[in-house]
Structure 1
Amino acid sequence: MIRSIYIRVVLTFLGSVIAGTVISFFVSTWIFEEKLNENAQINLRNFGQDVVQIYKALPVREADLYVSGMKQLSSYHIRIYEASGEFKSYGKLNGHKSAAVTSEQLKKVLDGGVVQETTSGIATGFLGLPLKTETGTKGIFLETLAPPSTSFVIRWGLIFASCSLIAGSLLILVASVYLVRPIKKLTKATKRIAAGDFNVKLNIKQTTEIGTLARSFEEMMHDLKQLEQMRREFVTNVSHEVQSPLTSISGYASALKQVNLSEQERNRYLDIIISEAKRMSKMSDSLLKLSLLESQSQQLRLSSLSLDEQIRRVIVALQPQWSGRNIHFELDLENVKVTADHDQLNQVWTNIIGNSIKFSEDGGMIKVRIEEDFKNVTIRISDTGIGIPMEDQKRIFDRFFKADRSHSRKYDGSGMGLAIVKQIVSLHQGDIRVESEPGQGTTFIITLPIHPPTDS
């Protein structure tokens, strides 16, 4: 079994050239055979009539001498029959087998008739004419030998086909290297990617199907590189986020083993262990939630809901977090009904408004506004908090990312909330973006379709 695509390309081309040449030769011969035979019959008839005129104009002896010296005898063979069946022949057959003359054909010619047939072969024919001489009526039979022009055409065709095959073979040997080179590059690149090396450059600039395949391969390679980077970051972040509470739990659990520990200190250590355990549990739940959303294995349970009423209920539910810090709300909520998953959207407002409360200063202001157009509804949630640096705004929806790194001790969180929010909004065919300046506050802008399209 031939595994090299280079050899396959070459052999396929050679087979195609040989088969095409043979088929073309026989097809062209079949197409022009009738025309060649027709022309040969016309030339044979004209030559036969010329010979008859010679015998009419000259005595038999002189006519015989004249005919025997004709140059056309290289292409024609002549037999002159007596009534008795005896004949004289003129011209050399050169290995050509002469056509047999039957008694019926001879009798027809002697009676003044004409016999004309096409023999086997290309541009050949057989003709019988009556020949009236001074010694009586005779029968002259002429047949065409293989004409020099036909043999020349055949030789020329064979030489042309051979040269075409040789030249084509040499060209395909060179061209196939060019054709196969991109495939070899793709093969090498695939092996390097399988080994974990994503820094591969193909440099294939063709516009053919190979070029399209190469560009698709580069896009796939870029996606795989990003996926691998995300996987490594995910493993690193999970390890870091899990390690911190585990270290606290381990340290305070060891401290509980001290004999001279007071009851107050023991209870404080237990509270820390319980808090860190809850933190790990919450992070685990968030990871599971995000995994379900990203895989879309959790289908949305769509229903019609009053969006303004839902947001009001979320704000009321969060009252213990903002009332004691004297944070005020300014609401501009139109009465809007949307088709969405009630529980999922409730988590979106809880997370975003909860963050606005958490990162606002005491006595701050949070504004919530709803705007509706023909197809979409836009929700703007603004606070007067610490803001988000420009370099962090593109990453705040990544899992485990915390924009408040310098305040990580002050503001508790796993960095999973906005990633979940982003995924929920995307599942609703919506969009979420952020506008913020450090020290000036943050605004989240969520756009949702009033009636999201359903999958067919």
Structure 2
Amino acid sequence: MGIKSLYTRIVLTFIGVIVVSLVIASIASTLLFRDTFTHKLENSLLSNGKQIIQTYRSSVGTELVSFMNNVSSISIYAIQLFDASGKPLLEEGTEPVVPGMERIRHVLAGSEARGIENEGRYPMVGLPFEVNGKSYALFVMLKNNEMWMQSNKEVNTEMLTVFLVGSILILAAARFIVKPLLRLRDAAGRMAKGQFDVQIRTNRQDEIGQLNASFNEMALELAQLDRMRREFVANVSHEIQSPLTSISGFAKAMKQKRMSEESRMYYLTIIEEESDRLSRLSHNLLRLSSLQHDRHPVQPVAFRLDEQLRKVVIALELQWSGKEIEVELDLEPVTVQADEDQLSQVWTNLLGNAIKFTPVGGKVHIRAYLDGHSAVVRITDNGIGIPEDQRTDIFKPFHKVDKARDRAVSGNGLGLSIVKQILDKHEGEIRVDGEAGGGSIFTVRLPLRKDL
């Protein structure tokens, strides 16, 4: 596992934080408590020095230098005795007591001394006293700085314990953090290879749990998009292959020399119809792609919606009159701000579908009215209707209610997809109601806005 891995970086970062924190804490504690500790230790040294002097004075007939050497050898204190000339009188131990001459003179003059620099040893005190009229200076310090070193040892042990325990906990915590991310990485790798059925199970409610949930949602959406892509390719292939097969078959049939003129015209009519079907498919695919990629942005203008609907009805007269369909109009004067050409395509597709799926002698009703801040257009027919379980799918490309794709009903399943794309660009809504076998009701709602 290299330094580039997230696990290693997290561990090193946390260990670095612990080390820096311990160093800062050590420096801060030293700065904050050193003076207090030094003062208490000096008081202890002064008290013990006075006790040594008092013990000597209570020992009648004891020689001074011999007594002080004995005390130095058996106590935890390193001591040195200086006479009035500043000459050391005691044997040098493993911890030599070497105060400066100015300090020695200061003590011999009768004053106590604190805060004595002693080659980094810490700390030392000096006490004056007299014996038989002679002045002496007694300097006391800890051997090997035992109390100080013991205190430092305890502090260092605690810091080392904190570091080791913290490092172990960090290793476990980092693995706990990184493990779900590694699962996400592996899942993303499988998804990159086209396996969109990846789902990560987790009970976590934190940010990583939310990331897992978002990943699962993304995987479902990508799986759906992949399924739609496959269906789209299959549908396009079917829609193209079907007319091409017809054209190829009837073109080969026309090569026969013995064929009546009536049969020839019939075959030519079929070839023409299938060619028109291919042309419409190509046109709709290009239009749908253009809308999806926003190649033709909305160009809003103000126009009368009711007048536009009348023009569309007139343009499709040959279709509804050929099936003897009764078209009823209930149009209130409504002015909208929208792309006129794109909305005309919406009404053409919706009315065309209503006519297509309404039986001969049926009825289509078109109503337009204002509802608050929206313009509403409702197209009702008494045709074959749309099953409720398919109403959310009819706006997908190539979706057809007639699964058998009966050639008697022309169309390639792109009309409603184009309608949905146009209405989305206009921030509009479309809803379908009705019952299978009882007709359909398409309701379009457009916001009344001055700009888009």
Match of 2:427 among 418, 422, 429: 429
d(CA) in 1 for partners of 2:196 and 2:166? 40
Tell me if 1:412 matches 2:413: no
**Change in 2 beyond 3 A, CA 1:231/1:407:** closer
Deviation at 1:72, TM superposition (A): 11
CA drift of 1:185 comes to 1.6
Residue type of the alignment partner of 1:428:
H
Aligned-residue offset at 1:258: 1.3
Shift of 1:446: 0.8
Partner of 1:43: 44
Indicate if the aligned counterparts of 2:337 and 2:451 stay in contact, CA closer than 8 A: no
User: Which residue number in structure 2 is paired with residue 77 of structure 1?
Assistant: 78
Aligned length: 451
Larger CA deviation: 199-208 vs 300-309: 199-208
Structure 1 length normalisation: TM-score?
0.88
Q: 1:281 to 1:30 in 2, by over 3 A?
A: same
Q: Contact 1:54–1:63 at 8 Å: present in 2 too?
A: no
Q: What is the TM-score when the length of structure 2 is the normalising length?
A: 0.89
Q: CA deviation at 1:281?
A: 1.0
User: Deviation string for 1:123-155 (max 9, x for gaps)?
Assistant: 933333332332333333333445433222222
Say if 2:65 and 2:89, in contact at 8 Å, map to a contact too.
no
* Equivalent position of 1:187 in the other structure: 185
Residue 29 of structure 1 is matched in structure 2 by 30
After superposing the two structures, state which structure 1 stretch, 121-130 or 419-428, moved more.
121-130
The gaps in structure 2 that reach 5 residues or longer are none
Distance 1:256 1:452, change over 3 A: farther
SS in structure 2 of the partner of residue 236 of structure 1: helix
The letter for the 1-side match of 2:85 is S
Match 2:298 to one of 278, 297, 300: 300
Matched, 1:354 2:355: no
* Bigger mean CA deviation after superposition, 320-329 or 436-445: 320-329
Q: Which moved more, 1:138-147 or 1:410-419?
A: 138-147
Structure 2 matches for 1:378-389, cutoff 5 A? 378-389=376-387
Q: Residues 269-314 of structure 1: CA distance to partner in whole angstroms, max 9, x if unpaired?
A: 2222122111101101101111111122321011112111211221
Could you say what secondary structure the match of 1:2 adopts?
Answer: coil
| 8 Å CA contact 1:60, 1:133 repeated in 2 | no
Question: Could you tell me how far apart the structure 2 residues matched to 1:392 and 1:106 are?
Answer: 106
Aligned-pair distance for 1:80? 2.6
Q: Once superposed, what is the RMSD of the aligned Cα atoms?
A: 2.9
Mark the CA change 1:407 to 1:200 in structure 2 (over 3 Å): closer, same or farther: closer
How far residue 62 of structure 1 moved from its aligned partner, in angstroms, is 6.7
Render the CA deviation track for 1:389-441: whole Å, top value 9, x for unaligned: 22332221111122134672222111111110011111111111101212221
Corresponding residue number in structure 2 for 1:2: 3
Q: Report the CA distance shift for 1:32/1:72 in structure 2 as closer, same or farther (over 3 A).
A: farther
For 1:383, the aligned partner's letter is D
How far did 1:240 drift?
0.6
2:443 partner amino acid: I
Distance (Å, rounded) in 2 between the aligned partners of 1:287 and 1:308: 29
Q: 166-175 or 276-285, which moves further after superposition?
A: 166-175
Q: Which residue of 2 aligns with 1:100?
A: 99
3-state SS of paired residue (1:332): strand
Question: 1:13 deviation in Å?
Answer: 4.1
Which deviates more, 167-176 or 390-399? 167-176
Distance in 1, matches of 2:308 and 2:121, equals: 98
Residue 50 of structure 1, CA deviation = 4.3
- Could you say if the C-alpha distance between residues 309 and 36 of structure 1 is closer, same or farther in structure 2, counting changes exceeding 3 Å? same
Q: Following the alignment from structure 1 to structure 2, what is the Cα–Cα distance between the partners of residues 235 and 258? A: 35
Question: Which amino acid is the alignment partner of residue 97 of structure 2?
Answer: S
For residues 159 and 265 of structure 1, do their structure 2 counterparts lie closer, same or farther at Cα, with a shift above 3 Å needed?
same
Distance change >3 Å, CA 9–CA 303, structure 1 → 2: same
Following superposition of structure 1 onto structure 2, how do residues 12-411 of structure 1 map, counting pairs within 5 Å? Answer: 12-51=13-52, 61=62, 74-89=75-90, 93=93, 95-102=94-101, 104-119=102-117, 124-405=122-403, 408-411=406-409
Give the secondary-structure state (helix, strand or coil) at the position aligned to 1:115: coil
In structure 2, do the counterparts of structure 1 residues 215 and 406 end up closer, same or farther at CA, with 3 Å as the change threshold?
closer
Give percent identity, aligned residues only.
38
Conserved 8 A contact 1:44-1:142: yes
Structure 1 unmatched runs, 5+: none
> Which amino acid in structure 2 is aligned with residue 364 of structure 1?
G
Higher deviation after alignment, 323-332 or 440-449: 323-332
Equivalent position SS for 1:131: strand
